[in-house]
């Protein structure tokens, strides 16, 4: 039988099943008399949890590096999160819940809040809330789960979900792969699985009912498929696939230090997408020389208040100093599915079509100027590109550039140095921008095409809606024609054009993009070498001759 899930981490695993039992015992709702004593118990449990998380952080640094160990920094922040803490204390004070039950109920509310968001990255934070609540409840009740570090033989884990703390505690020697009922490609556990190179399939419906302990199965982490009751011939066949994949990964490593050049000598920039300075270690390890998209909004989403100019300056400076080539930093892209509670942006009927990104920045010039000041100050530390998101009209890009120039003149008047070699660009994410890209190209130094939103808006498809997921297709002729039109208009104006959406890493589209004349592809760090390999196999002249759009 073949079972279908979501491929979260490539690779093949062949082995016996180990089912990680989901705790079924409900936290008892016993009423308490001494509110102060119960709140103190909660505070002590938080302190214990913080100590445990620090131990996990140290282990994670050793296992997967500082970048991914940051997950446990996030967990420490969530343990101290005001919303969660206020909710727990309120349940204890007003409803006289015991601390463990209060944590359980508060976690349900906060997790549901995250799950209601449209952004898959933010949706997956619900798993983090459940993880820390599980930890707190275990401390409060004295009933902690057995660690996956205690596994004694190689197995394929099957679970309802695997929290980040589960994943990092895995004895990698004995974990061949894992399958979960819940989770998605953006979950922390999926990200860690890719970092630790453990094959994984997530989102496999009713996975816990599909297997028994010691069943022999085959897991295909790339395609999200699981084969049950395999024959000897199938095992032999997939053992060969395992070997092929190992050889493939080893071959990719040989591309480090080689150029992103096609058969006929055309150079294509392959840069990395990042969310914070902590990602740079992984970028350099995968041999990217520049950053094609620094999502600056994550600097805003990691705290309880707006990051100061100085905080932003230090973050931008760190990235610029680390990279050999250009670093493109996208200005604040908030709103839509990326909520910043402290900005008090009103709830909207359709936030993706509402008050977001450049619209927020132009409406709140002081917020905008604080970021621009930090960017301009940092520009002297490397090769900076500033990119404005969600531009739909020529007037918007002119207005953004006007604020940028005003900010630059203010800094110069204060005697603060600013680089004279800053590229200013914009994202093409809306059909409106694509249709007037000939006019927009006269206002900027480059375009970067965000295929995620461009596909969503062009096809009128909510990319989170499973019922119409088949329509969300970056290979659709309408999308490809839009991209080619943008590329043609950019080159007519003498500016370069890149792609920073997820499809930039889709190697089945690489040849098409090169035939269109795309100058840069910006991808997640682990995809850099794979895209480089594909570029080195393309003859652009032949690709252009066969392009049929």
The token duo for 273 is 């997408």
> Residue 321, annotated ligand binder?
no
**How far, in Å, CA of 495 to CA of 479, rounded?**
21
Residue 117's φ and ψ, nearest 5 degrees, are -75, 155
> Residue 194, annotated ligand binder?
no
- Cβ atoms 65, 283 nearer than 8 A: no
> Residue 396, annotated ligand binder?
no
**How far, in Å, CA of 59 to CA of 50, rounded?**
14
Residue 351: other Cβ atoms inside 10 A: 18
The dihedral region occupied by 96, where left means phi > 0, alpha psi between -120 and 50, and beta the remainder, is left
DSSP conformation letters of 393-413: SHHHHHHHHHHHHHHHHHHHH
> Residue 359, annotated ligand binder?
no
Catalytic residues: 188, 500
Question: Which helix (H) or strand (E) covers residue 192, if one does?
Answer: helix 188-196
Distances (CA, A) of 528 to 56, 80, 463, 473: 29, 37, 25, 22
Q: Which of 433, 534, 444, 420 is nearest to 496 (CA)?
A: 444
- Cβ atoms 515, 543 nearer than 8 A: yes
The token duo for 40 is 């103190």
Burial of residue 156 (CB within 10 Å: 0-12, 13-18, 19+) is buried
Residue 83: other Cβ atoms inside 10 A: 15
Which H, E and C letters describe 439-486, residue by residue?
HHHHHCCEEEECHHHHHHHHHCCCCCCHHHHHHCCCCCHHHHHHHHHH
**How far, in Å, CA of 17 to CA of 179, rounded?**
10
DSSP 8-state secondary structure symbol assigned to residue 177? E
β-strand pairing of 2-4 with 175-180: unpaired
- Biggest CA–CA distance in the chain, Å, is 80
> Residue 452, annotated ligand binder?
yes
> Residue 135, annotated ligand binder?
no
For the chain, report the end-to-end CA distance as a whole number of angstroms: 40
- Cβ atoms 274, 524 nearer than 8 A: no
Name 180's bridge partners: 159
The token duo for 317 is 């400076």
**How far, in Å, CA of 17 to CA of 157, rounded?**
6
Helices (H), 286-351: 297-301, 309-322
Q: Which residue has the tokens 């009128």?
A: 460
Binding-site sequence positions for phosphoenolpyruvate: 295, 330, 452-453, 463
Binding-site residue positions: 295, 330, 429, 452-453, 463
Q: Which residues are annotated as a binding site for Mg(2+)?
A: 429, 453
């Amino acid at each position: 039988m073949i079972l279908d899930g979501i491929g979260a981490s490539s690779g093949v695993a062949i082995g016996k099943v180990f089912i990680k039992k989901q705790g079924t015992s409900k936290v008892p709702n016993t009423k308490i008399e001494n509110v102060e004593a119960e709140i103190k118990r909660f505070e002590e449990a938080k302190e214990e949890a913080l100590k445990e998380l620090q131990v996990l952080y140290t282990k994670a640094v050793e296992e997967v590096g500082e970048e991914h160990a940051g997950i446990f920094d996030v967990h420490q922040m969530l343990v101290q999160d005001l919303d969660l803490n206020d909710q727990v204390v309120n349940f204890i004070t007003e409803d006289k819940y015991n601390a463990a039950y209060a944590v359980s109920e508060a976690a349900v509310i906060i997790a549901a809040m995250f799950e209601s968001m449209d952004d898959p990255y933010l949706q997956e934070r619900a798993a983090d809330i459940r993880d820390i609540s599980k930890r707190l409840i275990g401390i409060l009740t004295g009933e902690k789960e057995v660690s996956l570090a205690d596994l004694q033989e190689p197995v394929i884990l099957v679970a309802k979900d695997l929290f980040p703390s589960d994943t990092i505690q895995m004895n990698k020697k004995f974990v061949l792969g894992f399958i979960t009922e819940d989770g998605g490609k953006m979950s922390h556990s999926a990200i860690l699985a890719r970092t630790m190179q453990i094959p994984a399939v997530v989102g496999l419906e009713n996975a816990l009912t599909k297997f028994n302990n010691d069943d022999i199965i085959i897991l295909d982490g790339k395609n999200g498929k699981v084969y049950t009751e395999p024959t000897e011939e199938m095992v032999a066949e997939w053992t060969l696939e395992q070997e092929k994949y190992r050889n493939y990964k080893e071959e990719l490593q040989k591309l480090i230090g080689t150029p992103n050049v096609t058969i006929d000598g055309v150079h294509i920039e392959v840069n990395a997408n990042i969310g914070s300075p902590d990602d740079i270690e992984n970028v350099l390890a995968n041999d990217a020389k520049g950053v094609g998209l620094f999502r600056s909004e994550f600097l805003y989403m990691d705290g309880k208040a707006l990051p100061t100019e100085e905080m932003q300056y230090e973050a931008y400076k760190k990235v610029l100093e680390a990279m050999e080539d250009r670093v493109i930093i996208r200005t604040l892209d908030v709103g839509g599915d990326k909520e910043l509670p402290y900005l008090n942006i009103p709830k909207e009927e359709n936030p993706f079509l509402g008050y977001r990104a450049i619209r927020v920045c132009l409406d709140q010039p002081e917020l905008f100027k604080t970021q621009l000041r930090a960017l301009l100050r940092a520009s002297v530390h490397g090769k900076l590109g500033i990119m404005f998101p969600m531009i739909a009209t020529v007037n918007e890009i002119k207005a953004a550039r006007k604020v940028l120039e005003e900010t630059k003149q203010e800094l110069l008047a204060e005697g603060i140095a600013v680089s004279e070699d800053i590229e200013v660009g914009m994202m093409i994410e809306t059909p409106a921008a694509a249709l007037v890209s000939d006019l927009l190209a006269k206002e900027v130094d480059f375009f970067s095409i965000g295929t995620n939103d461009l596909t969503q808006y062009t096809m009128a498809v909510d990319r989170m809606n499973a019922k119409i997921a088949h329509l969300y297709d970056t290979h659709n002729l309408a999308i490809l024609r839009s991209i080619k039109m943008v590329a043609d208009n950019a080159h007519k104006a003498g500016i370069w054009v890149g792609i920073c959406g997820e499809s930039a890493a889709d190697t089945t589209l690489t040849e098409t993009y090169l035939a269109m004349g795309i100058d840069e592809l910006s991808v997640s760090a682990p995809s850099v070498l794979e895209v480089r390999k594909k570029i080195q196999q393309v003859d652009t002249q032949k690709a252009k001759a066969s392009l049929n759009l």
